[in-house]
Amino acid sequence: MSPWVIGFLAFFAYPFFATIYYSFTNFNGVQSPQWIGFANYTALFHDPLFFTSLFNTFFYTIFELPLSTVVALGLALLLNQDVKGRAIYRTIFYIPSIVPLVASCLIFVWIFNPATGIVNDLLNNVHIQGPGWFFSPAWSKPSFILLGLWGVGQPMVIYLAGLQSIPSELYEVAALDGARAWKRFRRITLPMLSPVILFNVILQLVACFAYFTQVQVIEGSDLGGPGTSTWMYVQYLYVQAFQYLKLGYSSAMAFFLFVISAIVMVVLFRTSSRWVYYASEG
């Protein structure tokens, strides 16, 4: 066990407790940290950009999480049907999730370019004025939500595996009893798939709270998006730590995000007993 214990202590436990300690200090990464108590946390609640980045992150999470869950589950249901060329369709829908994030971002910037993008060209052909997408304060967040839906192939595959693990006898008995497709989906598919849904929701929730790479690539490293519409929490944390060298302040931001994430996870697990069904528990 010693290699795992050493790795855990060095790469998880020590950084975690060091972050908590530095959050109570004035630290720039070069000079010795100076203990300042709760000053960093007090400054957080007087920083308007902190609340802006927190709002943008929650806005993205609230819309992206349910939409990606519905889209991934819907695709899994379609690809679980016995149709010709099913393996090809599965591959096509999964490929976007393995494309590097930077490449995906550049593709989307090109497709949704307000002046020369394919999407706006198609809209112009039907006499519709296309929006500014990533470069518009009103459309920038919806554009990032669309970008998030581009990579639903990974949760889709997990849902597909969960669907194939549901015993076919359950559907056969329900069909003999006269249950239609929607009732079979609501009474059999969703309950049997609920542990997989919980697993995917947790993974996607963590990814939404830590949303960084896409905004960093598209909008720039200096929070240069349209206004403040795309200032995400982790990106603002990154700027505070590595551009302004406020490592104590950024540590306070990191620990605050951990507390929020922990609260959301506890609430999610506490409420999961109402909608998650485990076959082993009867």
Per residue in 51-83, pLDDT (tens digit) is 999 999 999 999 999 999 999 999 999 999 888
Whole-prediction pTM? 0.91
The two tokens of residue 44 are 């957080």
- pLDDT at residue 234 tops 90: yes
- More confident position, 29 or 202: 202
Q: Using the 8-state DSSP alphabet, how is residue 26 labeled?
A: E
pLDDT the model gives residue 240: 94
pLDDT at res. 241: 94
Q: Return d(Cα 246, Cα 47) in angstroms, integer.
A: 14
Mean per-residue pLDDT of the chain: 91
pLDDT at 48 over 80: yes
Q: Is the pLDDT of residue 266 over 60?
A: yes
pLDDT on residue 221: 58
Q: Could you tell me which residues come within 8 angstroms of residue 259 by beta carbon, excluding any fewer than 6 positions away?
A: none
Instruction: Enumerate the H helices of 83-189 as residue ranges.
Output: 86-98, 101-111, 118-125, 140-149, 153-164, 168-176, 181-184
CB-CB neighbours of 271 under 10 Å:
10
**Cβ-defined contacts of 251-255 (< 8 Å, 24+):** 251/19, 251/20, 251/22, 251/23, 251/27, 251/40, 252/23, 252/24, 252/40, 252/41, 252/43, 252/44, 253/44, 253/50, 254/19, 254/23, 255/19, 255/20, 255/23
pLDDT of 222 > 90? The answer is no
Q: Are 156 and 76 in contact (CB under 8 A)?
A: yes
Average the pLDDT over 225-243 and give the result. 89
Residue 157 CA to residue 92 CA, distance in Å, equals: 12
Other beta carbons within 10 Å of 76 = 24
Every domain of the chain and the residues it spans: 48-281
Q: What is the pLDDT, as a whole number, of residue 161?
A: 93
Please say if the pLDDT value at position 279 is more than 80. no
CA distances from 172 to 77, 168, 181, 188, 200 (A): 17, 6, 11, 11, 28
Q: Average pLDDT in the 111-125 region? A: 91
Q: What's the pLDDT score for residue 179?
A: 87
Per CATH, the number for 48-281 is 1.10.3720.10
Structure tokens at 199: 């697993």
Query: Can you give the pLDDT at residue 277?
Result: 87
Per residue in 240-262, pLDDT tens? 999 999 999 999 999 999 999 99
For residue 178, is pLDDT > 60? yes
Q: List the structure tokens of 230.
A: 């795309």
pLDDT at position 228 over 60: yes
User: φ and ψ at 35, to 5 degrees?
Assistant: -70, 125
Candidate from 34-38, 58-62, 100-104, 252-256 with smallest mean pLDDT: 100-104
Give the separation between CA 109 and CA 117, rounded to whole angstroms. 8
